[in-house]
Amino acid sequence: MRIGNVANQSATFIAGISGATVAGGVGVIIDTNGHLGTVVSSERLKDSIKPMAKASEAILALKPVTFRYKKELDAKGIPQFGLVAEQVEKVNPDLVARDDQGKPYTVRYEAVNAMLLNEFLKEHRKVEEQEATIIRLQKGMERVIARLEEQAAQIQKVSAQLATGRVRVAAATGLEVSRPSPHEVANNP
């Protein structure tokens, strides 16, 4: 269905849409030719499905910006947040939709969102691995500390036995058991 023509029509208003909630609905998008549609996600409608892997790392080079649309697009100048299509094209041309002259027109944010999810999941797996490593290291440290405490107790026990033995030797022989005198050691490299 077409109303008007592209040459003299620049806006479309349809009553009854704004404020009408459709729970579980599908978002509508528009291509650069003005064609309305939805983005489908069913496996039945896709070919060559494979994990995204490192392809999503391209988003790490994107530069989010704040901006205002030019007055002819937004007279109120409401602050906006997003990406610049020309900059995104340099990082990954597949993330850009083009106008009828082939120039970058907009960013395919739904694709950026999928890439963000992939990067988030990769980071989440790293965090889980790091947490497991930390737990393993903590348990190892607990074993080392327990062993050191055990050795310290053994050293105290042996030291006490040596002290008791010195007293017994001194009492039995009438000789005083002395400790060796300290020696000065020179450090000659």
Tokens of 189: 């490299």
Q: Which amino acid is at 47?
A: D
Confidence band (pLDDT; 50, 70, 90) for 18?
confident
| CB burial of residue 116 (10 Å; 0-12, 13-18, 19+) | middle
With CA atoms as reference, report the closest residue to 1 among 39, 15, 12: 12
pLDDT for residue 80: 96
What's the 3-state SS for the chain?
CCCCCCCCCCCCCCCCCCCCCCCCCCCEEECCCCCEEECCCCHHHCCCCCCCHHHHHHHHHCCCEEECCCCCCCCCCCCEEECCHHHHHHHCHHHEEECCCCCEEEECHHHHHHHHHHHHHHHHHHHHHHHHHHHHHHHHHHHHHHHHHHHHHHHHHHHHHHHHHHHHHHHHHCCCCCCCCCCCCCCCC
Q: What would the pLDDT profile of 131-140 be if each residue is shown by its tens digit?
A: 999 999 999 9
Q: Evaluate if residue 13 carries a pLDDT over 90.
A: no
Q: Evaluate if residue 30 carries a pLDDT over 70.
A: yes
- Could you give the CA distance from residue 32 to residue 108 in angstroms, rounded to a whole number? 11
Average pLDDT over residues 124-146: 98
Q: What would the pLDDT profile of 41-94 be if each residue is shown by its tens digit?
A: 899 989 999 999 999 999 999 999 999 999 999 999 999 999 999 999 999 999
| Spatial contact of 32 and 106, defined as CB atoms under 8 Å apart | yes
Q: Evaluate if residue 97 carries a pLDDT over 80.
A: yes
Percent of the chain with pLDDT over 90: 60
The residues spanned by each domain of the chain are 51-120
Q: Evaluate if residue 177 carries a pLDDT over 60.
A: no
Tokens of 12: 């479309």
